[in-house]
Amino acid sequence: MNNLLTDIAGVRVGHADDAVLASGVTAVVFDQPVVAAMDVRGGGPGTREGALLDLANTVEKIDAIALSGGSAFGLESGGGVQARLAEQGRGLNVRGAVIPIVPGAICFDLLNGGNKKWGRFAPYRDLGYAAAAAATTSFALGSVGAGLGALTANLKGGLGSASAEISDGTKVAALAVVNALGSVTIGDGPWFWAAPFEIDGEYGGRGFPDSFTPDMLNMRIKGGPTATEAENTTLAVVVTNAVLTKAQAKRLAMIAQTGFARAIYPVHAPMDGDVLFAAATGEKPIDPLIGLTELGMVAANTVARAIARGVHAATALPHPGALPAWRDRFG
């Protein structure tokens, strides 16, 4: 286990980003189609193929997931991922017409200091293609791909990942792009809200503060208490090797998104666009009640860890007034 989403066999991840743009794309590519569902909790989401993942609709399996910066412009990244898969003959076959199924979601990073004057067409379709082409089992964390331009209320955001194995051999892993309205750390200190779930010092090993002061529990959000713009989102992908139906994948997504609340304060606000995708590769049968409950519990912990790792691994953008990274402030 490498503490990455790709600890689930048959999953690859690729990044493509542009330092001048201060934005990018991350593609999660599955070697075989997987059962998938989606859970949306934020009040300002931006998604692609979201309706397809609804339980009432027909298509159950997907080929990849596109995560992007760029706000609504970034939804084009899914077309780039789709183009790469089409070249490989991947996709849903409808009487000879092959259509790669690529849901996606975006976060807002248009005001982070990068140059967004891209002309007539945004670059996200090309970045999506490049990210899919670069997909492999080893990938970087922090300020890369869709996490390059991500910010939180008080520190640079980023892309994180984590994995876990349950005692019966079921595995679950998460990838998160952390561009949250709120804070991933407690007060003005180095402690992560996700501290109780940390494994082997994966995000600094600082634990919780000795005590909590009222100031630590005050609201810290982008733009301060009078903020009115939807400039935020945390995106996550959870993948398990369990055998799940589409309805069970939806329940997994719902339980796993509680990991956002364990790692971000506040979360799921009207100005957040929080989205979580859950996918199952279908290798290991599990009990549909107790087994799914335990899987969701561990998945939520893993999501919280991935969020903290994304901020812990981030590096600050090289722009005047840019938010510091966790490592800049706390070593």
Q: How does pLDDT run across 227-238, given as a tens digit for each residue?
A: 545 568 999 999
Tokens of 293: 């409950």
294-322 mean pLDDT: 97
203-225 mean pLDDT: 91
156: amino acid identity, one letter:
K
Percentage, residues of the chain above pLDDT 90: 91
Contact 75, 106 (CB under 8 A): yes
283-288 mean pLDDT: 96
Gap between the Cα atoms of 234 and 228, Å rounded:
18
Query: Looking at the predicted structure, is the pLDDT value of residue 70 above 90?
Result: yes
Percentage, residues of the chain above pLDDT 70: 98
Residues 6+ apart with CB under 8 A from 76: 122, 124, 125, 128
Gap between the Cα atoms of 50 and 61, Å rounded:
13
Average pLDDT, rounded, for the chain: 95
297-317 mean pLDDT: 98
Q: How far apart are the first and last CA of the chain?
A: 26
152-156 mean pLDDT: 95
Q: Is 160 helix (H, G, I), strand (E, B) or coil?
A: strand
Range list of H helices, the chain: 77-87, 124-133, 246-256, 258-263, 290-312, 326-330
CA angle 151, 157, 163 (to 5 degrees): 150
Q: Is the bond into 266 cis (omega within 30 degrees of 0)? A: yes
DSSP 164-232: EE-TTS-EEEEEEEEE-SSBSBSTTSS-BTTGGG--TTTT------SS--GGGGS---TT-TT--S---
Query: Looking at the predicted structure, is the pLDDT value of residue 225 above 70?
Result: no
Closest CA to 222 of 213, 214, 231: 231
Residues 6+ apart with CB under 8 A from 198: 192, 205, 207, 305, 308
Q: Domains (ranges, CATH) in the chain?
A: 5-316 (3.60.70.12)
pLDDT tier, 100 (very low <50, low <70, confident <90, very high otherwise): very high
Helix axes 246-256, 290-312, angle to 10 degrees: 50
Q: How many residues would you count in the chain?
A: 331
Predicted local confidence at residue 44, as pLDDT: 86
- Output the furthest CA–CA distance in the chain (Å, rounded): 64
204-209 mean pLDDT: 97
Predicted local confidence at residue 232, as pLDDT: 83
Predicted local confidence at residue 327, as pLDDT: 97
